Amino acid sequence: MTEFPKWFHCHYWLILALPVLLAACAAPAPPHQGEEEGQTTIHVTSNGWHTGIVLAKADIPDGLLPELGDYPAAKYFEFGWGDAKFYPSKEATIGMTMQAALLPTPAVMHVVALWTSPKRYFPEAEIIALSLGQARFRKLLAFIDNSFKRSGAARVEASAQGLYADSGFYPATGRFHLLNTCNTWTARALRAAGFKIKSTGTAHAEALMQQVRRLAHVAFN
């Protein structure tokens, strides 16, 4: 069976007449507070296939996102959403990938604990900083918090080791499929925070990042 490297974080497929092409869905530390009073800076990351959202630990209120207690030494956290079977797999097959793309499947949240700034931790990734006011930041936090599938429990345990040394996969809400990928989750998270982002048509990372680039250097209250 064909194996794919684990950096295939997200999943896309193109079915042409004959072949099936499969592709899937990281400097000195900047201050996490925005330049304007009351502004908080978040980061959107992209490795070309997969996107995520990075928040500073200092900006996350105590008691919210209790799963982050698994990583007490972290300074930042990256959140990324994806297929529960394919995303954590180290030996993904064509069949597994096609199932993730064609059928709605359970999802997981990938939490990465960063010991330094996102630009330093993910030197080869595209990273865009966005600033927003406290009310919008709280809405973003609520969206991410609600993306963890806790089933009434106070917190949920990691279901698998993550892709990095200090990271883990956690059960998540929603269903993954071709039109609902890691990148559409990132788009919806930004929309929940009040950013003018279209979530439709963002299955591919570049489609989302084109919108995110236009929002850079703008403070949203």
Q: pLDDT tens string for the chain (221 positions)?
A: 444 344 334 443 323 222 222 233 433 333 343 444 589 999 999 999 999 999 999 999 998 999 999 999 999 999 999 998 867 765 544 444 454 455 778 999 999 999 999 999 999 999 999 999 999 999 999 999 999 999 999 999 999 999 999 999 999 999 998 888 999 999 999 999 999 999 888 889 999 999 999 998 665 65
Give the tokens for residue 81. Answer: 């959403």
In terms of Cα–Cα distance, which of 67, 167, 61, 160 is closest to 121? Answer: 167
Radius of gyration of the chain measured on its C-alpha atoms: 17
User: Residues in the chain, how many?
Assistant: 221
How much is the pLDDT for 23?
35
Helix, strand, or coil (residue 197) = coil
Q: What residues contact residue 189 under an 8 Å CB cut-off, 6+ apart? A: 53, 79, 140, 143, 144, 147
DSSP output for 198-215 = --TT-SSHHHHHHHHHHH
Maximum C-alpha span of the chain: 57
Amino acid found at 190:
L
How much is the pLDDT for 178?
82
How much is the pLDDT for 15?
30
Pairing of strands 76-83, 105-114: antiparallel
Q: What share of the chain is helix, strand, coil (3-state, %, to 5)?
A: 25, 30, 45
In terms of Cα–Cα distance, which of 55, 81, 200 is closest to 146? Answer: 81
pLDDT digits (tens, 9 = 90+) for 43-53: 999 999 999 99
Burial of 106 (0-12, 13-18, 19+ CB in 10 A): middle
Pairing of strands 219-220, 126-133: parallel
